[in-house]
Structure 1
Amino acid sequence: MEVIVPFSTDRPKSRLSGVLSPDERRGFSRAMLDDVLDAVVAAGGDPRVLATDAVDVDRPVTVDDRPLTEAVNAALDARLGAGGEAGNGDTPEPVAVVMADLALATPAAVERLFAAGQNADVAMAPGRGGGTNAFVASHPEFRVDYHGASYLDHREIASEIGAAFAAVDSQRLGTDVDEPADLAEVLIHGEGRAAAWLREAGFALDASEGRVAVVRE
């Protein structure tokens, strides 16, 4: 299954600017991207990075500097729409979109998403704040709108086009890393490069005051 992995090279993870410098944010974002690519490949997926600018990875890269919604919809048009791979009249092959900041993603979690996508027209893993962290779609009319609580919007879009919808409840796919508090989840549950990057940068967990906090040594 082709898996589109959106990745921003322009001021990545700006909400972490209080704890990471611009260069550090780039390095940490790249570590998360590599973790996601590793998980996708191990789950049997065929990842393609959808980047806002050129990025040096050992996987195919499509550069599209448009906003996320427009860039992902263009990719879906090419694979599901009448002008793309579905234009031969056959049922389109499922395509997945997995965000590049899912630092907790594992092959098992991605496999669950893929399996759900085999039994539904749209299978989706919501984020903790109501966003859309990952999905598989095969319905030729399904398109995205990433503004606001996009998971609810996407569920409604699926209903409007008559697409069978499945929710994938996954802590690992539901945890995207945007805020400084999210770093604790990576240090606690992370198994890959992003967790190692944080530890090498001096981040650690401190529970001395009765609650878990992230500190930098």
Structure 2
Amino acid sequence: MKRLHEDTGEHHQLRRNLVDHLFKHGIEDRRVLNAIATIPRQYFMLPQDESVAYVDRAFPIGEGQTISQPYTVAYQSQLLDVEKGMKVLEIGTGSGYQAAVLAVMGADLYTIERQKKLFDRNRNFDYLRGFNNIHFYYGDGYEGLPADAPFDRILITAAAPQVPQPLVHQLARGGKLVLPLGEAPVQRMVRITKHHDDSITEETFDKFSFVPMLKGKQE
């Protein structure tokens, strides 16, 4: 079980500083900023990196994975445009930090992780267990969760070479899917909107660099 670190007045100030930084760089959705101001990012870090938890960059979390840069988390969350009570599917739980942001924003969150060790770590992580609106799944993100579909929003936290069609099928009418699209080393952030007549529109945004989205599960 992942231990909780301290959350001090200094951490609170560092979060406020981070929020100011994100706002200056174009993150204006108050729901996103409030979530980032609330969540102790150091809880999601390896112990040796706790002192740099509020530096705006990615850090390793083990199993060859990273906790995403706060700006990237905020950018994707803003594009997703989550409203309280929406049913949201996250592909790639990773550290669990993005899941916490969406949960604080009021999402009814279904999150899939393909790596068993990370899935077990997050499912047993005391801080995340405190959210009754996060549902953890071990599985292949490319397949999504057809039994729980449709979803109002879908977020993919790894780079897909093409838009995964099973996930588009699981998107509700009026829903939005956000993902980094393209091959390494750089992808474009894309937002897919499914309209009420089932037609699809695609918007393209800034460049990012994500780890590749992989098929299957890993023990």
Determine if the TM-score, normalized by the shorter chain, exceeds 0.5: no
Higher share of residues assigned strand: 2
TM-score after normalising by structure 2: 0.30
Higher relative contact order (CA 8 A, sep 6+): 1
TM-score after normalising by structure 1: 0.30
